[in-house]
Amino acid sequence: MRGKTAVITGASAGIGEELAVALAERGAQLVLAARSEELLARVKQRCEQAGGQALVVPTDVGDPEACRRLVARAVEAFGGIDYLVNNAGLTMRGLFEDVTDLSLFERLMRVNYLGSVYCTHEALPHVKARRGMLVAISSLTGKNGVPGRTGYSASKHAMQGFFDSLRIELRGTGVDVLVVSPGFVATDIRVRALGPDGTPGKSDIPEETHGMMSVRTCADIILRAMERREREVVMMPAAKLIMALKAFVPGVLDSFAARTMKKMKQVRL
């Protein structure tokens, strides 16, 4: 990774921040993107202390022009792009029947899915020039629907389909596409989740805390997959079981999900 340039969206906290620091420890050049310049400045300091170079570019990935500026700044500063990590994301917490602001579905799709499309479209020529890698930080909800996450799951399904299709288109170009599906990771994304009324931080669904993976462990798994140029990482053994159930006995999986939804309704009442 030494001397390689990685653009990371959603780099101001959570998985994006820890992955940036892990890359910096290996001597990478980081382009840190997120909406908060103040939070990015803190991550930049961590990256530089870890031994890497870092450039802060405040970016709203839901804005195509902002994504164009992000890529232009990265190329101007470091001459090209080896890795684009599409990590920026929003989540939601609430049953669909309780949703009162449908615009939250548009917000989730614009950030989680279209933000990746915008950044990838701008960065692709530069990544191809260096035979680099596109990384999509998806979710297990992109593999299977989860009650209380309809909008989030839909956006991650879209992300998965986009990068799976793009991987085929890029065969023979030297560009690899990695889709990462973390499970429950100890980040604050759930604290900022959009509630049924579209307001961040409001939810009637209890927080899942048992068995969460640490952010650094998650980042290390992603980094190892990047180094090995893998095509997909599905974290947590239980997730692989869920995928098998979906393929061979989908009714069993639906029954399990339905019991989960029933518990949610009981809590809400």
For residues 137 and 208, give the distance between their C-alpha atoms in angstroms, rounded to a whole number: 20
Burial class (CB in 10 A: 0-12, 13-18, 19+), 236: middle
For residues 92 and 73, give the distance between their C-alpha atoms in angstroms, rounded to a whole number: 31
Burial class (CB in 10 A: 0-12, 13-18, 19+), 168: exposed
Q: How far is CA 256 from CA 87, 150, 242, in A?
A: 29, 16, 10
CB 180 within 8 A of CB 137: yes
User: CA nearest 240: which of 228, 231, 230, 248?
Assistant: 248
Q: What tokens appear for 84 in the block?
A: 């684009």
For residues 171 and 160, give the distance between their C-alpha atoms in angstroms, rounded to a whole number: 17
CB 67 within 8 A of CB 35: no
Burial class (CB in 10 A: 0-12, 13-18, 19+), 19: buried
- Residue indicated by tokens 């993976």: 213
Question: Which residue in 83, 113, 118, 152 is the catalytic one?
Answer: 152
Q: What tokens appear for 220 in the block?
A: 């290390």
The verdict on whether 152 is a catalytic residue reads: yes
Residues belonging to the active site: 152
